[in-house]
Amino acid sequence: MATLSQAEILRYSRHLVLPEVGLEGQRKLKDARVLIVGTGGLGSPISLYLAAAGVGTLGLVDYDVVDETNLQRQIVHSTSHVGIPKVESAKRRLLDLNPYIHVETYNVVLRSENARPIAERYDILVDGTDNFPTRYLLNDLAVLTNKPYVYGSIFRFEGQVSVFDARVGPCYRCLFPEPPPPGMVPSCAEGGVFGVLPGIIGALQATEVIKLILGIGEPLAGKLLLVDALDSTFQTVQLRKNPQCKLCGETPQIRDLVDYEEFCGVPAAGRHEIQGIPELSPKEASELLASGEPWALLDVRDPVELQVSKLPGAVVIPVGQLPARLQALNRDRKWVVFCRTGERSARAVKLLRSVGIQAYNLKGGINAWADEVDPTLLKY
């Protein structure tokens, strides 16, 4: 087992006096290798607490760069790191917090072709992601390589935590055999997230990782912890292994890794456009709207977003209400559809065109309109 220097013994002294940890447990932590996929809202507290606890090697996977909109919740990053790769930003912070650990970075999108080579050197896989394709891929990876998968997810004010380990209980696919319909669950950018919620869920995930390493307590294997930050309530739901699970059931059908964008009905990580949707740049849309031809604006954002910015004359129908309110749209008009950045509006355009309404997506959304047409608009 790993040895601890005098400096490390002093650093971890509050662990060493815990009978459940002690010197032997701290050495186990130093020997452990944990892969964290995602260094955003969840990955921040996960990585910070595991680094502080003395987990010897942390692997970080992320393809994104630090943006100002991240800093409301992604506490491993800082203002001075805006614009640099998240894995590099996180590595700097973690080594500043604890110089006695190793941090290995992978500035890539986790895909079927690189997942095994990246994960093979780690003991535990931790989910800090925000999309279903990566979540299903991580679960498959964990089952096929016999590793525990510490799961966490957040949505607005609610979160979930579990440990999926097919050797002792159900896997993620036992609980969710099929993903929700495309667009049913908004991303953090679309739906928002309570800034402290990732801290709560990420800290719980880090707790599960440390328990697994030390072999103490009762991990959340076979259980799903539900957290509601508004009500300050915690509920635990018992989970059972699904004998018909295609991955870990009695007659498994999945025997290798695949990518899940088509299965989940969403674009790949790092790519936000929906293929085949006609788009207009803000300048093009502005000229068409001023041409006197029957062009009109459709805003599919939620009403709360209008407090930040809005375009005069736009018809407002939140994307979730659009299927029930199609009759409100004049079919003799050509509609320029927009949201914040163009993701929700692309789905709206797909729906409108499927029922014969002429619609075009505003590329980049109202934020791009602020950049290219009206700089007085506030961006968010």
Contact 142, 148 (CB under 8 A): yes
Structure token pair of residue 120 = 């093979």
Contact 340, 364 (CB under 8 A): no
Nearest partner of 362 among 274, 278, 305, judged by Cα: 278
Could you please report the per-residue DSSP string of 195-230? TTHHHHHHHHHHHHHHHHHHT-S---BTEEEEEETT
Pairing of strands 233-238, 57-61: unpaired
180, HSE (Cβ side, Cα atoms, 13 Å): 7
Q: Given CA atoms 74, 301, 271, 145 in this order, what sign does their dihedral have?
A: positive
C-alpha–C-alpha distance, residues 39 and 43, integer Å: 4
C-alpha–C-alpha distance, residues 291 and 226, integer Å: 53
171: annotated active-site residue: no
Helix orientation angle between 365-372 and 282-289, rounded to the nearest 10 degrees:
80
C-alpha–C-alpha distance, residues 356 and 189, integer Å: 29
- Choosing from 174, 245, 248, 339, the catalytic residue is 339
174: annotated active-site residue: no
In the sheet that holds 102-106, the strands lie side by side as: 102-106, 57-61, 33-37, 124-127, 149-155, 158-164, 223-228, 233-238
C-alpha–C-alpha distance, residues 215 and 198, integer Å: 25
DSSP structural state of residue 174: H
- Choosing from 171, 174, 188, 248, the catalytic residue is 188
Structure token pair of residue 184 = 């049913």
- For 65-76, give one letter per residue: b (16+ CB within 10 A) or e: bbeeebeebbbb
Contact 152, 127 (CB under 8 A): yes
Please identify every residue annotated as catalytic.
Answer: 188, 339
